[in-house]
Amino acid sequence: MEMTSQLPGHFITFEGGEGSGKSTQIRRLADRLRGRGHDVVVTREPGGTDLAEAIRSFILSGAAEPLGPEAETMLFAAARADHVERVIRPALQRGDWVLCDRFIDSTRAYQGSDGVDASLLDSLEKIAVGEARPDLTLILDLPVEIGLDRAQRRRSGEEGPADRFERETIERHQRRRDLFLAIAAREPERCVVIDANQSLEQVEDAIWHSVRQRLNESVN
Ligand code: Z5A
């Protein structure tokens, strides 16, 4: 399979709606890869560097919302540029596996559904990402109500209210789900849709199957 990234490492991104299980499954995949002797970097967006984590807190608190969706998009892009430059590209240059919780498709789905023009999204994506494109994107798909319910249950055991995105209407979450599925249909060589409405173990197995199928020679 042809690599979209020209760098020696392997870059896998996890995408999907709230509560789809991305963080849980990234940990499980990282364990499997490390068990086979690979060096794995687990990271997330927005975030992954001090600067990008500061931008994350600012956005998720809702403080950036009054600036409008275009300005929020630029903040996501600034965070991503720093993350790619300082963490993702160096790891891929070393030959590591990079597993990232959300990346470019979250901008396409979330800011795209907020009405940001596709040409602005494309331009910022090129500036922020350069050649560090995912080799494989796993889109964890499930009905939005189930994902929101999972996210809410998890939060009831934690501090803090729903973030800026979790507070939005079911219709907006549904639009984003549709956009993720449309990206997968448009870029089947990069994206695999995983049915996330299954047990943790079944989702883990489906992900492992996809990684082996797409990146088989590298997994060993
Ligand atoms: N955003 C954006 O707008 N534009 C961008 O470019 C980027 C992001 C990069 C980041 O929030 C927000 O930023 C996000 C989009 C926006 N919107 N929101 N909200 P985040 O990173 O804090 O939130 P998240 O990505 O949605 O993460 P999450 O809610 O933590 O979901 P998750 O990582 O996919 O799920 P999880 O933590 O692994 O699982 C959630 C719970 O479900 C947990 O209790 C699990 O034990 C449980 N779970 C997981 N899998 C299962 C299964 N299979 N069965 C039953 N229960 C399960």
Per-residue model confidence as pLDDT tens digits over 92-129: 999 999 999 999 999 999 999 999 999 999 999 999 99
Tell me whether strands 191-195 and 136-141 are parallel, antiparallel or unpaired: parallel
pLDDT of 159 reads 57
In a 3-state reduction of DSSP, which class is residue 61?
A: coil
Q: How confident is the model at residue 4 (pLDDT cuts 50, 70, 90)?
A: low
Please work out whether the CB of residue 69 comes within 6 Å of at least one atom of ligand 1: no
Ligand 1 probe mutation, 88, 104, 165, most atoms within 8 A of CB: 165
79: Cβ contacts below 8 Å, ≥ 6 apart: 45, 46, 47, 49, 51, 52, 55, 56
- pLDDT per residue over 31-69, tens digit each? 999 999 999 999 999 999 999 999 999 999 999 999 999
- pLDDT per residue over 129-175, tens digit each? 998 899 999 999 999 999 999 988 887 777 567 787 777 889 999 99
The span from the CA of 63 to the CA of 159, in Å, is 19
Query: DSSP state, 114?
Result: T
The span from the CA of 191 to the CA of 164, in Å, is 27
Across the strands, what pairs with 43? 100
CATH dotted code for 10-212: 3.40.50.300
Q: Cβ distance 25 to 207 under 8 Å? A: yes
C-alpha 96, offset from chain centre: 18
Please work out whether the CB of residue 106 comes within 6 Å of at least one atom of ligand 1: yes
